Amino acid sequence: MLPRFDAVRASGYPRADLLMLLSDYNAAVQSAPTFPKNVYESRRDRLNELWNKRRRKVAGRSGTPGPDAGPATGDGRSQKAV
């Protein structure tokens, strides 16, 4: 996926190419197996730490705050902070 994204980025993000890339990514995510609940729960703190570190890195690179998404809920969805 990353080489394809780099190619789309290099070509100025043509809408058709970007939509195909996002469609392929969505298909890959939807077909991936979910984590068993106990695996996520046993590693939740570390996963949340890594996710927050990534969000800070992305926000620092763009100069704007990252998306308002809290820790993952364990079922692949994001849980917004309230």
Quick one: average pLDDT of 3-13?
A: 87
On whether both 42 and 76 belong to a single domain, the answer is: yes
Which residue range forms the structural domain that includes residue 51?
A: 35-82
Whether 73 shows a pLDDT value over 70: the answer reads no
Residue-wise pLDDT for 21-56, tens only, equals 999 999 999 999 887 889 889 999 999 999 999 999
On whether both 19 and 7 belong to a single domain, the answer is: yes
On whether both 26 and 44 belong to a single domain, the answer is: no
**Selection from 75, 81, 70 nearest residue 40 by Cα:** 75
- Quote the CA–CA distance of 28 and 73 in Å, as a whole number: 20
Count: domains in the chain = 2
On whether both 28 and 45 belong to a single domain, the answer is: no
Q: Which residue has the higher pLDDT, 56 or 69?
A: 56
On whether both 12 and 28 belong to a single domain, the answer is: yes
- Which residues 6+ apart lie within 8 Å of 28 measured at CB? 1
Average pLDDT along the chain:
79
On whether both 44 and 73 belong to a single domain, the answer is: yes
Whether 4 shows a pLDDT value over 60: the answer reads yes
On whether both 40 and 67 belong to a single domain, the answer is: yes
